């Protein structure tokens, strides 16, 4: 009887081992790993938004010249990231311009050429800077260009002071 | 006497025969078990080695087919605070399963990226890099049916553009070699 029991137990154990081995094979089959050779996917970069048309308000300061306040709407974000600043460019309109100017739009503006600087962007819906022209040569015009790092957007149309 | 002895030896002989038979059965079962174990080891070995001999024992495992997708231009230089969404660094491809069994795409590995700037612009090589070196597990693995048609594969956050990327990188397209792993 003991021999029978041992024999039966042995048989059962071996069958179980065999079944486990087969089961293990199925598990191994499920862990097949297919690795492709390197194949091309694609990605693309966005582009900068175009600057929004500014408005320019001129204020006569008498012997001190003119003050120009340039205001423009904030440009759309780069998929959630706002631009870091704006480049404000001045030019002479109809032979106008400035012989010498300063302010928050640009540190120095000489003979209407200007040394453009980046006006840091604020988080609001509108942006603004002010330029004071000590010696005016006529009505200047302005345009704004959005900036993000080394990227530049297309400049806005020119806007003349009113 | 004869009947006595025959009667006496009969059961003994039968019992002996029965024990032999059980031993044989046990042996057969043992052999079967060993063969099964052996088979299992062989299959496991094939699974890990992927040798040609093993492939001949079952269906052939063919790498899934990867083709370029249609990218959405979202990438820009990475802010110091990181991208606001993982969609910005997405890569786009299609994958198809040529095998007679379903597979599941689980990860991709990005290789060296090539840059194609817009006409008249320049964008230096190295302006765009893999966000993570090595395999990137897919947040949602893609299951491909047996012999499936091409299916879109988008991997968010796979790449990023360096903060100092030049202005000419605007609108550029990027070839992103990917090694796709499926199980």
pLDDT per residue as tens digits for the range B133-158: 999 999 999 999 999 999 999 999 99
DSSP assignment of B125-156, as one string?
TTSEEESSSSEEEEEEEEEE-TTPPPEEEEET
User: HSE of A53 in the Cβ direction (CA atoms, 13 Å)?
Assistant: 5
Q: What is the pLDDT of residues A23-39, one digit of tens each?
A: 433 333 445 788 888 88
The complex's ipTM works out to 0.72
| pLDDT computed for residue A139 by the predictor | 72
H or E segment to which residue B9 belongs: helix B2-49
CA dihedral B133, B137, B139, B143 (to 10 degrees): 140
| pLDDT computed for residue B49 by the predictor | 26
Q: What angle do CA A72, A78, A83 make, to 5 degrees?
A: 45
Is the pLDDT higher at B51 or at A48? A48
* CA Rg value for chain B: 31
A48 to chain B, any CB pair closer than 8 A? The answer is yes
21-60 of B, contacting A, C-beta below 8 A: 22-23, 25-26, 29-30, 32-37, 39-41, 43-44, 47-48
Query: Which of A43, A44, A147, A153 should be substituted to probe chain B, the one whose Cβ sees the most B Cβ atoms within 10 Å?
Result: A43
How confident is chain B (183 residues) per 10-residue block, as mean pLDDT? 36 42 51 42 31 42 91 95 95 95 95 97 97 94 96 96 98 96 93
User: Span A54-75, mean pLDDT?
Assistant: 90
């Amino acid at each position: 009887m003991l021999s029978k029991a041992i024999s039966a137990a042995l048989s059962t154990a071996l069958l179980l081992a065999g079944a486990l081995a087969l089961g293990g094979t199925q598990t191994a089959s499920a862990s097949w790993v297919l690795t492709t050779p390197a194949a091309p996917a694609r990605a693309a970069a966005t582009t900068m938004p175009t600057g929004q048309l500014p408005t320019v308000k001129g204020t006569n300061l008498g012997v001190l010249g003119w003050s120009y306040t340039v205001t423009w709407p904030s440009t759309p974000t780069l998929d959630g990231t706002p631009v870091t600043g704006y480049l404000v460019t001045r030019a002479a309109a109809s032979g106008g311009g400035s012989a010498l100017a300063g302010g928050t739009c640009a540190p120095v503006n000489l003979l209407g050429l200007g040394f453009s600087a980046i006006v840091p962007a604020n988080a609001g819906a509108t942006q603004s800077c002010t330029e004071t022209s000590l010696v005016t040569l006529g009505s200047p015009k302005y345009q704004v260009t959005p900036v993000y790092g080394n990227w530049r957007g297309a400049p806005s149309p020119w806007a003349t002071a009113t | 006497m004869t009947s006595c002895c025959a009667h006496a030896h009969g059961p003994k002989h039968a019992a002996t025969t029965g024990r032999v038979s059980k031993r044989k059965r046990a042996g057969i079962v043992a052999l079967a078990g060993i063969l099964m174990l052996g088979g299992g080891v062989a299959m496991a070995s094939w699974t890990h080695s992927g040798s040609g001999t093993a492939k001949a024992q079952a269906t052939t495992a063919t790498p899934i087919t990867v083709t370029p997708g249609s990218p959405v231009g979202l990438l820009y230089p990475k802010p110091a605070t990181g991208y606001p969404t993982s969609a910005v660094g997405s890569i786009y491809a299609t994958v198809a399963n040529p095998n007679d069994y379903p597979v599941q795409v689980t990860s991709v590995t990005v290789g060296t990226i090539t840059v194609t700037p817009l006409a008249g612009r320049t964008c230096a090589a190295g302006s765009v890099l893999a966000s993570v070196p090595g395999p990137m597990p897919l947040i949602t693995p893609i299951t491909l049916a047996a012999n499936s048609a091409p299916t879109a594969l988008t991997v968010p956050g796979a790449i990023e553009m360096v903060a100092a990327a030049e202005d000419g990188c605007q609108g550029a397209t990027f070839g992103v070699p990917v090694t796709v792993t499926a199980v």
